[in-house]
Amino acid sequence: MVAPLDGIKVIDLSRLAPGPFCTMILGDLGAEVLRVEEPGGGAMAASRPRQDPIAIRRAAAFSAVNRNKRSITLNLKHPEARTVLYQLCQDADVFVEGYRPGVVKRLGCDYETLHAINQRLIYCSLSGYGQTGPYQGLAGHDINYISFAGMLGLMGPADGPPAIPLNIVADMAGGGMHAAISILAALLARGKTSEGQYVDAAMLDGVFSMLQSVTSAFLSTGRVPTRGSESLSGSLPHYNVYECADGKYLSVAALEPDFWQTLCTAMGREDFIPHQGDEAQRTEQFSFFRRTFKTRTRDAWFDLLSRAGDSATAKVLSMDEVVTDPQVRARGLVAEVGVVNGETVRHPGIAYKLSATPGSVRSLGVPRGEHTDEVLKEMGYSSERVRVMRDQGVVE
């Protein structure tokens, strides 16, 4: 079956989560992705405990961001390794790197250098703060990018410190996903112009763009939003999270009047119905919901409210509950994708559903450098030459 990105060759020079997530998306959609990795795995690998080969292969297979990719090692500080990379770039479509600005210039694989080799190449630099501005060289991680973007300061209750989310907002959504969207747009543009281009993807930019509703309101009114005071961040009793009798939680999002009516009726408080959003009633409503939800278990409340009609409630699930949830299973969001050492490997499934050209998991992640010899042989290098290159530290 044809995939959307069949025939697209991607060279992935990225390291941490955002870049590999970006190229995972491209690989799931059919692109041929080649990871170019540093011999030894770099500083991050050096800090991890040593593992036996079986454990290494298992970890690689269960790493969803490395599926649908081959892997070679190249020591780009060595001139011959750069020559190999330049050969790979001659017919590549996309190049993704995730270093801080300036590093790829020192490694000889910056946009100008590779564009001179292949003018159709789409070159994506994915960084925290972008290639311009006073923060361009600043080190950081997800929590730092969402801090500068204004998101972290808005997360959590009004009477507490900012709530730190998982590294999903900046790394995955603001970074990797926005980079993938930009690359797909550049591929479409190349179909019209026959020219590649440079993509400057920054996690700060991506996160800030996702705050568009809050930012637009501020730019329109001048009112500075504050933590816990916004309608969708905990200030409303009918858009909140409540603890139940078993210590588990239920989320309530009865924003629409008919949802609110269903909720209030099912809980025996029809008198609340005319007062949705009434600030004078918030304390009483909060007190009632917090007290009453603790009288039944989470699942009992969900069953009761679901039978009552549309109330926009949901169970707050733990991960072990998520992977067995019937809706998650029906959508193929947990998929069996292969076998490693006799063990079935499961990954998060493919989120984007295309009817005619669906994505797929064609191969599992592999240990660093698994395909070095194979790729070099495809490029015309003899086994003896590869042995010499390995002895010289060009490859691992």
Q: How far apart are CA 205 and CA 220, in angstroms?
A: 20
Query: Where does CATH 3.30.1540.10 sit in the chain?
Result: 239-322
Instruction: Read off the pLDDT of each residue in 57-75 and give the average, rounded to a whole number.
Output: 97
Give the chain's length.
396
DSSP state for residue 383 in the 8-state scheme? H
**pLDDT, tens digit, for every residue of 223-277?**
999 998 888 888 999 999 999 999 999 999 999 999 999 999 999 999 999 999 8
Q: Is the pTM of this model over 0.85?
A: yes
> According to CATH, what is the number of the domain 239-322?
3.30.1540.10
**pLDDT, tens digit, for every residue of 8-48?**
999 999 998 999 999 999 999 999 999 999 998 876 666 66
Q: Which of 78, 141, 275, 371 is catalytic?
A: 141
Long-range contacts of the stretch 288-291 (C-beta < 8 A, 24+): 289/237, 289/240, 289/242, 289/252, 290/242, 290/243
178 catalytic per annotation = no
Q: How far apart are the first and last CA of the chain?
A: 35
DSSP state for residue 254 in the 8-state scheme? -
Residues 6 or more apart whose CB falls under 8 angstroms from that of 221 comprise none
pLDDT at 213 over 70: yes
Amino acid at 313: T
**Looking at residue 45, what is its pLDDT?**
65
Q: Which of 93, 110, 142, 171 is catalytic?
A: 171
Query: Where does CATH 3.40.50.10540 sit in the chain?
Result: 9-210+330-391
Provide, rounded to the nearest whole percent, the portion of the chain with pLDDT above 70.
Answer: 98
373 catalytic per annotation = no
**Looking at residue 44, what is its pLDDT?**
61
CATH superfamily, domain at 9-210+330-391:
Crotonobetainyl-coa:carnitine coa-transferase; domain 1 (3.40.50.10540)
Q: How far apart are CA 79 and CA 28, in angstroms?
A: 33
